């Protein structure tokens, strides 16, 4: 005679497997949520550090930009000077004699650049 399978045993196994699956799903959701929170905290911390560094750099650039620059001939090459003090800031190894006459004439008088961006544009024009 064949023994009939115990239906209560099958239901218990099904119940245990179902509960284990639910537990694993909830654990995965919790871990994912926890990781998201930690990433959010580190991102906001990095963001605040970056914004404070940006603010510091902006203040430095603003201070430098408020001074302005004068681009003019200096010992046969292009010189860059602080507008407020007249001190040499930098030189470009570009002989003024190699430039077109109108550019050379402008450099003899001096070209004012109010900001670092304007200075960069001038430098790029002469370097190309």
Q: What is the pLDDT of residue 14?
A: 72
What are the two backbone dihedrals, phi and then psi, of residue 90, each rounded to the nearest 5 degrees?
-165, 165
Tokens linked to 83:
């507008």
Most confident of 5-14, 28-37, 79-88: 79-88
| Tens of pLDDT, residues 76-95 | 999 999 999 999 999 999 99
C-beta separation of 40 from 83 below 8 A: no
What global pTM score does this model have? 0.49
Q: Which of 121, 102, 108 is nearest to 77 (CA)?
A: 108
Backbone angles phi, psi at 65, to 5 degrees: -70, -30
3-state secondary structure of 89: strand
């Amino acid at each position: 005679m064949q023994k009939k399978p115990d239906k209560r045993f099958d239901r218990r196994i099904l119940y245990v497997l179902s509960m284990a699956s639910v537990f694993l799903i909830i654990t995965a959701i919790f871990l994912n949520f926890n990781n998201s929170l930690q990433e959010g905290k580190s991102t906001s911390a990095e963001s605040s550090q970056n914004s404070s560094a940006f603010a510091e750099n902006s203040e430095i650039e603003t201070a430098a930009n408020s001074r302005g620059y004068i681009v003019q001939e200096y010992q046969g090459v292009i010189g860059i000077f602080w507008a407020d003090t007249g001190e040499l800031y930098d030189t470009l190894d570009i002989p003024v004699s190699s430039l077109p006459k109108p550019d050379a004439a402008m450099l003899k008088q001096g070209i004012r650049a109010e900001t670092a961006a304007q200075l960069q544009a001038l430098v790029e024009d002469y370097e190309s």
